[in-house]
Amino acid sequence: MNAPVRATRKSVRRPRVTGALLDQSARKWAALLDDPCNAELVHGCFPSGNGGSVLMRFETDQIVANGATEVAAFGAWAPGYGLNFVNATALTSDTLGSLLNPSTLVGPGDAYLKTNGDGVRCVAACLQMSYPGSELTRAGVVSIGLAPADAIATNLPTASGGGNANATAQNNRILCQHVQRMPQDVMECKWFPGDEDLTAYDPAYPTLYGQNLGGRNAIYWSASGFPVSTGVRIRMVAVYELSLNATTSTPFVKALVPPVSNYLPNQVFKAMHDVDPLWYLTAAKTAGTVLGSVISYISQGTKAAGTLANGIGLIMA
């Protein structure tokens, strides 16, 4: 009697993400988006090109909310428009309402860009949070994430073009993809541009803070429940393309022909998300995944594509 024939199931091979997916210029920009602090400075794959512009990397590193009564803080940073916001008053609890105001914690390169830049465009940026106190007193809850920048306007005073709504560190967590207890290391969120961030802006212009935020992306963060007189450390890094031609006040970046890459920004973002949907949140990655490894994944196809994180589809739309 013949043995029964087992039905064989043909395995479905998951497509690999290879280096051919992006050209060299696109891969280099992806590397910079993934590691704004250390990667090679390169131009972005912007549709309008980048001829006549130079690249500069800027950094700020400050401790905020370290007053004698402050135990919570929250903020938002829109690097594609040079705007940074934090809570306007001292917070003595997690739920005490406070408006966002344009921040004295200025964005990276703010003074230089306003003085020397004409057309300015952000190429890459990141925000890092860490605890500046001792390990014995480490306490609190922190959040960080990327979301549309026009949510900022709701919580701005009407004098700045906002909706004059109350905001809290607790409510700000809704906009963040990652929430955890106060970390012993560094939490980081990396930025990528929305549609309006792809064009240059005049760094001297953004004074009506609640306006022109539509179509832009912002990094949001919050911290609460930490000890008084301690605060939280906020480090911001941004890479800008800028034109130093001061003959006109019209924002511009000269067109470059041919383009720096055959790939559009959304194609670069999709390739990065397909490889690692949490590439922009270093704190949320699996232990052992090192900063910058996303690009090796793109080249070698060693990590399977995952589902988009909550909110990213909206951001990329």
For residue 303, what pLDDT is reported?
Answer: 26
pTM, rounded to two decimals = 0.78
Domains of the chain: 19-316 (2.60.120)
Q: How confident is the model at residue 132 (pLDDT cuts 50, 70, 90)?
A: very high
Instruction: Give the separation between CA 67 and CA 152, rounded to whole angstroms.
Output: 24
Q: Distance from CA of residue 180 to its chain's centroid?
A: 18
Residue 268 has pLDDT above 90, yes or no: yes
Mean pLDDT of the chain: 74
Average the pLDDT over 266-282 and give the result: 90
**How many CB atoms lie under 10 A from the CB of residue 247?**
7
Q: What is the mean pLDDT of residues 295-311?
A: 29
Name which residue leads in pLDDT, 218 or 163. 218
> Which has more confidence, 178 or 301?
178
Burial class (CB in 10 A: 0-12, 13-18, 19+), 170: middle
Residues 181-235 have pLDDT tens digits of 998 889 999 999 999 999 888 777 655 555 678 889 999 998 888 999 999 999 9
